[in-house]
Chain A
Amino acid sequence: MKLFKIKDRHTWTFFVLPGTILLVLVLGFPAFQSILYSIYPEGGGSSYTLNNYSILFNDAVFRQVFGNTVFFVILSVVSHLLLGLGVALVLNREIFAKPVFRLIALLPWVVPDVVAGIIWRWMFDPVYGAFNDLLIKIGLISTHVQWLSNPKLALPSVVFVNLWRGFPFVMLILLAGLQSIPRVLYEAAAIDGASRWQLFSRITLPSLKKMLVVALALDIVWEVRRFGLIQAMTQGGPGNITEVLSTYVYKQYFQFFRFEYASAVAVVMTAALLIVSLPYIWMISQEE
């Protein structure tokens, strides 16, 4: 239990309220409006109806899109985690030219995801693409591969680019977390004869736990919202193979002008995210 002075009891408001007020003021209104929109009938009108939701759940495309999103998010988050953790662990040691490698590992995040999508799409081009060209020159493939138009390769290609763009985030958080694990802990355990794996699982992982939760929770939310990258690379195609909830909502709203339906999709999206992130919220609110 945390102790605090009697005088102190109410100062939590000073710390927490400014942010809360700002968020409620500015985000509360749009959020409320969106929920309201979603129970209007399509095309406007003043009566309320749950029709949009029933259309949603009966639409085969929506189900496919939902499945794609789950698939995409899991692959992205897991790959971010593995690569980010791996790089952070190596960078935590004393290595020659560490600052250089650290900078390089951060670079992909510097490119906005729309721009990254445009550039990688061009690199993946079957005839003009630099990527195919390079792979052929190295001898890894012999003919040009259709990364984005082959239905089997489209989603993996998008995940590949998303990994490139996204791992620096996890890496930097974990690195910052690793840096503040006191060296003495490792030294003492090593003296006691602990193996590398034991050092990792008994010291590193538990210390990183909080940071891992933060990184995972944020990454999951962000990857569900990942829009610009996918829109620029495939617009959800070929077919509906790379269509995810965020591109789907965008189309419904800005291309088909189905404002009410789009709001319903967004509400479902948010609700699903809330459910998925409950364990993370619970974990990070743990009192120590």
Chain B
Amino acid sequence: MEGYGFLILVSIYALLPFIWMLSTSLKTEAEAFRVPPTWIPIKATLSAYVSMWTKKHFAIYFLNSTIISLATAVLSTFFGALAGYGFSRYIFYGRKFLIGFFLATQMLPGVLLVGPYFKILSKFGLYDTRTGLVIAFLTICLPFSTWMMKGFIDRVPDALDQAALVDGCSRLGVFFRVVLPISAPGMVATIIFAFLLAWGDLLWVICLTSTESMVTVTLGIARTVGEFQIIWPMLMAGALMGGMPAIILYLLLQRLLVQGLTAGAVKE
């Protein structure tokens, strides 16, 4: 099937940097600068990985990133689903405006928001805390999650809601027991994306934290780019390890993503 050829090409495109990242992460610093570059390390070593955990506090970075991103992903998807359901099923005055407002909040460049956010968070004592970061990220991820979930919930036929309501179910019950399970693939996609949005942020983390105990994986990687040197093997090792939680999250949730195949065969 010609689909295979296409997929293989795309896979090479997607995997190429990762192969290079893996290769570099296993090299010594000197070999990383070799010309011409080597794809298979002449002298393979795990020292970059070890250094990230021992010289840099990768364990702390990992913990911070995971907690923050997970909390952001789950909370934003949950509230986003709520709002998405509201936009999907109800007509009310100002609906179009609010939908537009949710999207508009994504449009302000982060550069402008950082300063005021910093002021707000420090006033509430949330500067340099995980909670503060989660709140900041929530406001970025929530509009996104709402739009995503509205799109997915829109595809769940209203008739199902009606049937359940007639059966005596409350609105909330309809939301939790009927709509959400059917839009599970959408929720999975939203959670994963929201997770990655929070995980990959740099600007907010730089400005809203100060101590080593609050550093995230992304910030830790960015710091390997010093004034004078870039420690490539460590950077690559950090980037690869940093991608692991998202991949694990995806692997855990991917069955729900596929579930749509059966759940979608709904009688219309």
Distance (Å) between the CB of B10 and the closest chain A CB? Answer: 6
Instruction: Give the distance in Å from the alpha carbon of A12 to the alpha carbon of B90 in the complex.
Output: 6
26 A-B pairs with C-beta separation under 8 A = A2-B89, A3-B162, A15-B82, A15-B83, A18-B82, A22-B79, A23-B139, A29-B116, A30-B113, A87-B10, A105-B14, A107-B15, A107-B247, A108-B17, A110-B247, A118-B235, A123-B17, A133-B39, A172-B189, A179-B261, A214-B147, A214-B148, A225-B109, A228-B202, A246-B111, A284-B147
Which chain A residue lies CB-closest to B19?
Answer: A130
Interface pair B193/A169, CB less than 8 Å apart: yes
Closest 10 CB pairs of A and B: A15-B86, A112-B200, A180-B264, A30-B116, A12-B90, A16-B86, A110-B243, A214-B151, A179-B260, A19-B83
A residues 179-237 near B (Cβ < 8 Å) are 179-184, 207, 210-211, 213-214, 217-218, 221-222, 224-225, 227-228
Is A31's beta carbon under 8 Å from chain B?
Answer: yes
Asked if residues B89 and A127 are in contact (CB atoms below 8 Å), the reply is no
Contact (Cβ within 8 A) A172 B99:
no
Judging by beta carbons under 8 Å apart, are B155 and A177 in contact?
yes
A residues in contact with B136, CB < 8 Å? 26
| 9-residue interface stretch from A43-51, A56-64, A70-78, A265-273 | A265-273
Q: Is B67 an interface residue (CB 8 A)?
A: no
Complex: how many Å from CA A116 to CA B155?
Answer: 34
Contact: B113 with A27, CB < 8 Å? yes
| A246-B86 contact, Cβ under 8 Å, with A122-B232, A214-B151 | no
List residues of A whose CB falls within 8 A of some B CB.
1-5, 8, 11-12, 14-16, 18-20, 22-23, 26-27, 29-31, 33-34, 83, 86-87, 90-91, 93, 95, 99, 101-116, 118-120, 122-123, 127-130, 133-134, 164, 168-169, 172-173, 175-177, 179-184, 207, 210-211, 213-214, 217-218, 221-222, 224-225, 227-228, 245-246, 249-250, 253-254, 262-263, 266, 269-270, 273-274, 277-278, 280-282, 284-285, 287-288
Interface residues of B toward A: which range?
A: 35 or more
In chain B, residues 7-42, which have Cβ atoms closer than 8 Å to a Cβ of chain A? Answer: 7, 10-11, 13-18, 20-21, 33, 35-37, 39
Contact yes or no, A266 B108, CB < 8 A: yes
Bitwise, B66-78 to A at CB < 8 A (1) or not (0) is 0000000000000
Within the assembled complex, what's the spacing in Å between the Cα atoms of A213 and B150? 11
- B58 in the interface (beta carbon within 8 A): no
**Contact A23–B92 (Cβ < 8 Å):** no
Q: A2-B91, A111-B239, A112-B200 are in contact. Are A273 and B102 (CB under 8 A)?
A: no
Cα distance A263–B113 when bound, in Å?
10
B residues engaging A (CB < 8 A)? 1, 3-4, 6-7, 10-11, 13-18, 20-21, 33, 35-37, 39, 79-80, 82-83, 85-87, 89-92, 95-96, 98-113, 115-117, 120, 135-136, 138-139, 142-144, 146-148, 150-152, 154-155, 158, 162, 165, 171, 175, 182, 185-186, 188-189, 192-193, 196, 199-203, 218, 221-222, 225, 230, 232, 235-236, 239, 242-243, 246-247, 250-251, 254, 257-258, 260-261, 263-266, 268
